[in-house]
């Protein structure tokens, strides 16, 4: 309340009425106890030297400036004016802008003041509001036009971020800000249903695509090797991310569409992502048929080619175990890397997991091919401990595999088709025989233990 005290000096025996004027910026709606205007009067009681008048401000919820009530004495009968200046009281505004909470998920609140200005505030008790600014100007509703809407404010991976939506085109855009919520950079023009949009759902904890759910945070599917396979979003959109510090995730796409769990039906499961021999690859499994399938992708993890329909226990499946470092056949172990047993000539003999044999051309990028007989890949000991595979080579245009029976010290040769599948067998030759010497020449290895490889004969 404003209490105005009038005092008089001199004789106080009789009552005295004094005139005054009420002015100021406040009007009659702002207080009770008197009204603005001229011709106002107050009476000193007989014997009293003071008289008071109380102005009681009217309570309201209007946000306004402080207002004044000014009392000025006016001339009258029986007194002279001692105070000629106005005595001013101030009615202080105690109504403040009520902030609308735009978003309260996570560790930060996004608020819009009644003035339209945006502020961010931590959720802990006592946290102060921080103006959200760009280039020194606090942002407000409609600052960039009616199409742009501020959706949320959050700290993501230690960085303050502000999420925008362009409603005209239904795209999302993100600001990164410093610790004082001052803009530093902008990024993104993403659809809410995209992989990035789903990640933003997880980061900001709000439903952006209108499907009634908030995307789950990033889930690590597989981290073996140099690449992690990540599933994120309510539809488990897949991405690949290097395990190097600070690496960003890249959406795995085919024909411009980010792949997600169930995209090709419930039978298809994504198992792993890896860079194999310099090529980005994604490993799939058809769970109904128990077959493996591989995608090759470019440097941005966009599909370029597909290959394979392999059983996990096959040579190809075991090689995929090596490449992706996953137990694919459920035997509890991961296949060991392939070892080159013999590299002479144009073809090398390899032995991989399960001691299975395969061949590979020595030219760069050549693929390994399983050596098979009657549909089964051969392996060490397949015909007993006495039989040893020594070498593989293309001789006279025919693929051949050289065997040795260690008990009898005899040599034996398989002929195979272009796919390294057995077609016929021949020979039971001593290593020192003329045929044995010829085989030394053809396969380029020392078969009789004399420390040298026989050279082809020359015509004179």
Q: Is 181 contained in some domain?
A: yes
CB 291, CB 309: distance < 8 Å: yes
Write the DSSP symbol of residue 438: H
Q: Which residue has the tokens 């090689």?
A: 319
The two beta strands, 376-377 and 387-395, are unpaired
Q: Is 457 contained in some domain?
A: no
**Cα–Cα distance, 270 to 229 (Å, whole number):** 9
**Cα–Cα distance, 371 to 418 (Å, whole number):** 11
pLDDT at 456: 67
Write the DSSP symbol of residue 321: H
Rounded alpha-carbon distances, angstroms, from residue 288 to 73, 265, 285: 100, 11, 9
Q: Is 450 contained in some domain?
A: no
Q: What is the 3-state secondary structure (H, E, C) of 85-127?
A: CCEEEEECCCCCCCCEEEECCCCEEEEECCCCEEEEEECCCCC
The two beta strands, 410-416 and 398-405, are antiparallel
Asked whether residue 414 falls in the same domain as residue 352, the answer is: yes
Asked whether residue 254 falls in the same domain as residue 195, the answer is: no
138 burial level (CB within 10 Å; 0-12, 13-18, 19+) = middle
Q: Which residue has the tokens 């008197």?
A: 34
Asked whether residue 267 falls in the same domain as residue 278, the answer is: yes
Which CATH number does the domain housing residue 82 bear? Answer: 2.60.40.2030
pLDDT at 196: 81
Asked whether residue 297 falls in the same domain as residue 406, the answer is: no
CB 120, CB 133: distance < 8 Å: no
CB 351, CB 357: distance < 8 Å: yes
pLDDT at 233: 55
* Structure tokens that stand for 363 in this block: 């030219």
Q: Which of 191, 213, 235 is the last residue of a domain?
A: 213
Asked whether residue 221 falls in the same domain as residue 329, the answer is: yes
424 Cβ neighbours under 8 A, 6+ residues apart: 414, 415
Q: Is 452 contained in some domain?
A: no
pLDDT at 234: 52
Q: What is the CA radius of gyration of the chain?
A: 45
Asked whether residue 157 falls in the same domain as residue 185, the answer is: yes
Q: pTM for this one?
A: 0.42
Q: Which residue has the tokens 């029986």?
A: 78
In terms of Cα–Cα distance, which of 19, 36, 18 is closest to 27? 36
Sign of torsion over alpha carbons 221, 223, 226, 230: positive
DSSP string, 228-257: EEEEETTTTEEEEEESSTTPPPEE-EETTE
**Cα–Cα distance, 278 to 147 (Å, whole number):** 45
CB atoms within 10 A of CB 408: 11
Asked whether residue 242 falls in the same domain as residue 171, the answer is: no
Give the E-state strand segments of 311-431 in sequence order: 339-342, 347-351, 357-361, 368-370, 372-373, 376-377, 387-395, 398-405, 410-416, 422-430
**Cα–Cα distance, 406 to 456 (Å, whole number):** 25
The two beta strands, 279-286 and 291-297, are antiparallel
Domains in the chain: how many in total? 4
Q: Is 226 contained in some domain?
A: yes
Asked whether residue 384 falls in the same domain as residue 432, the answer is: yes
* Structure tokens that stand for 450 in this block: 């004399």
H-helix or E-strand containing 129? strand 129-131
Q: Which residue has the tokens 């106890």?
A: 33
Asked whether residue 228 falls in the same domain as residue 185, the answer is: no
Q: Which of 75, 91, 107 is the last residue of a domain?
A: 91
Q: Which residue has the tokens 């530093």?
A: 184
CA atoms within 13 Å, Cβ hemisphere of 209? 20
**Cα–Cα distance, 142 to 97 (Å, whole number):** 18
DSSP string, 182-224: BEEEEEEEE-TTSHHHHHHHHHHTS-SSSSSSPPPPPEEEE--
Give the E-state strand segments of 321-384 in sequence order: 339-342, 347-351, 357-361, 368-370, 372-373, 376-377
Mean pLDDT of each 10-residue bin along the chain, 460 residues long: 95 96 95 95 97 94 85 96 96 77 90 91 91 96 96 92 97 97 96 83 90 79 90 75 84 92 93 94 97 97 96 84 91 80 92 84 83 93 96 96 97 97 97 95 94 71
pLDDT at 460: 46
Q: Is 308 contained in some domain?
A: yes
Between CA 105 and CA 212, with CA 149 as vertex, the angle to 5 degrees is: 50
Q: Which of 157, 192, 213 is the last residue of a domain?
A: 213
Question: Any idea of the CA torsion for 334, 336, 337, 339, to the nearest 10 degrees?
Answer: -160
List the domain range (segments joined by +) for residue 155.
Answer: 97-213
Asked whether residue 205 falls in the same domain as residue 272, the answer is: no
CB 319, CB 294: distance < 8 Å: no
Asked whether residue 318 falls in the same domain as residue 366, the answer is: no
pLDDT at 309: 95
Q: Is 456 contained in some domain?
A: no
Asked whether residue 274 falls in the same domain as residue 351, the answer is: no
């Amino acid at each position: 309340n404003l209490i105005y005290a009038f005092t008089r000096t001199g004789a106080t025996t009789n009552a005295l009425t004094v005139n005054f004027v009420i002015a100021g910026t406040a009007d009659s709606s702002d207080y009770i106890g008197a009204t603005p205007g001229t011709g106002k009067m107050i009476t000193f009681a007989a014997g009293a030297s003071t008289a008071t008048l109380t102005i009681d401000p009217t309570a309201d919820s209007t946000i306004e400036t402080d207002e004044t009530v000014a009392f000025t004495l006016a001339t009258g009968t029986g007194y002279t004016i001692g105070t000629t200046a106005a005595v001013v009281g101030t009615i202080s505004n105690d109504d403040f802008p009520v902030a609308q909470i735009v978003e309260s998920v996570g560790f930060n609140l996004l608020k819009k003041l009644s003035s339209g200005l945006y502020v961010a505030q931590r959720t802990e008790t006592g946290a102060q509001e921080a103006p959200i600014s760009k280039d020194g100007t606090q942002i407000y509703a409609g600052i960039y036009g009616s199409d742009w809407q501020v959706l949320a404010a959050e700290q993501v991976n230690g960085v303050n971020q502000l999420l925008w939506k362009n409603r005209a085109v239904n795209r999302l855009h993100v600001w990164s800000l410093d610790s004082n919520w001052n803009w530093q950079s902008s990024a993104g023009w993403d659809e809410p249903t995209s992989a990035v949009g789903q990640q933003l759902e997880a980061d900001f904890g709000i439903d952006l695509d209108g499907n009634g759910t908030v995307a789950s945070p990033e889930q690590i599917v597989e981290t073996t090797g140099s690449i992690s396979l990540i599933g994120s979003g309510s539809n488990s959109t897949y991405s690949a991310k290097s395990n190097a510090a600070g690496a960003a995730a890249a959406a795995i796409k085919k024909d411009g569409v980010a792949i997600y769990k169930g995209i090709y039906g419930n039978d298809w499961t994504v198992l792993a992502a890896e860079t194999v021999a310099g090529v980005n690859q994604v490993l799939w499994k058809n769970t109904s048929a128990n077959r493996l399938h591989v995608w090759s992708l470019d440097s941005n993890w966009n599909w370029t080619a597909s290959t394979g329909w392999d059983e996990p226990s096959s040579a190809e499946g075991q090689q995929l175990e090596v490449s992706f470092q996953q137990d694919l056949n459920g035997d509890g172990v991961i296949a060991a890397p392939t070892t080159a047993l013999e590299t002479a000539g144009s073809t090398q003999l390899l032995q991989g997991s399960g001691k299975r044999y395969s061949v590979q051309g020595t030219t760069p990028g050549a693929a390994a091919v399983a050596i098979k007989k009657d549909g089964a890949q051969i392996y060490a000991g397949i015909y007993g401990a006495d039989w040893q595979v020594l070498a593989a080579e293309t001789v006279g245009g025919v693929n051949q595999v050289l065997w040795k029976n260690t008990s009898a010290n005899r040599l034996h040769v398989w002929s195979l088709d272009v796919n390294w599948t057995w077609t016929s067998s021949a020979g039971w030759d001593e290593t020192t025989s003329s045929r044995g010497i010829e085989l030394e020449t053809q396969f380029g290895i020392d078969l009789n233990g004399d420390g040298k490889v026989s050279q082809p004969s020359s015509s004179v």
